[in-house]
Amino acid sequence: MPEFAVTTLIHRPVTELFAYFADPTRRAEWSDHVIAGRWLTPAPVGVGSIYEITTCQWGRTVKTRRRVTVFAPEREFTYEINSPLLYVLSRQQFEAAGDNTRYSVSGHGRLKGFARLVGFLAGQFMSTDHIAKEVADFKRALEDGAAATGGGCNAANKPG
């Protein structure tokens, strides 16, 4: 799987962006392929906390557990997915820029086991184009209040 990196300027304060991103229960508000998110470990959130994201991928509901590896409020939120079929490390960085925030996403992933045989499909979820769309949706939700339009899990709900 390729490495990915996307940066944008969001017209909201860093405290608001970090809180919004770091709450998986709000992920479906801005990510089209996310159905739900929930914490699996009790508060407070920190390194080692685990949450689950339920997504729709090609008409199928898929749950992935994510473990927080860096939790630096208002600066960085990094997580990893380490399942039998997939490893992903995703780093979110937040930098105040006046009343705005420079938001950067970077990371990498690799397929494991059987998933390597269908890598061309799964790789679309970690492409820079897909990550750029997620970042644009995140920005739009924060700046314009625009909600995600995924609306459930069906075969048409594929990564863009």
Ranges of residues in the chain whose predicted pLDDT is under 50:
155-160
SS (H, E, C) 68-120: EEEEECCCEEEEEEECCCEEEEEEEEEEEECCEEEEEEEEEEEECHHHHHHHH
Token pair for residue 139? 């920005």
Token pair for residue 79? 């997580």
Measuring CA to CA, how many Å separate 75 from each of 91, 122, 131? 11, 29, 19
The rounded mean pLDDT for the chain is 86
Q: What is the pLDDT of residue 113?
A: 77
Q: What is the pLDDT of residue 155?
A: 44
End-to-end CA distance of the chain: 17
Q: What is the pLDDT of residue 112?
A: 81
Alpha-carbon Rg for the chain in angstroms = 15
Q: What is the pLDDT of residue 93?
A: 98
Q: What is the pLDDT of residue 78?
A: 98
The whole model's pTM is what?
A: 0.85
Q: What is the pLDDT of residue 122?
A: 54
Closest CA to 76 of 96, 58, 91: 91
Q: What is the pLDDT of residue 160?
A: 42
Contact by Cβ (8 Å): 94, 101? yes
Pairing mode of beta strands 86-97, 100-111: antiparallel
- Domains recognised in the chain with CATH numbers: 4-144 (3.30.530.20)
In whole angstroms, what separates CA 57 from the centre of its chain? 14
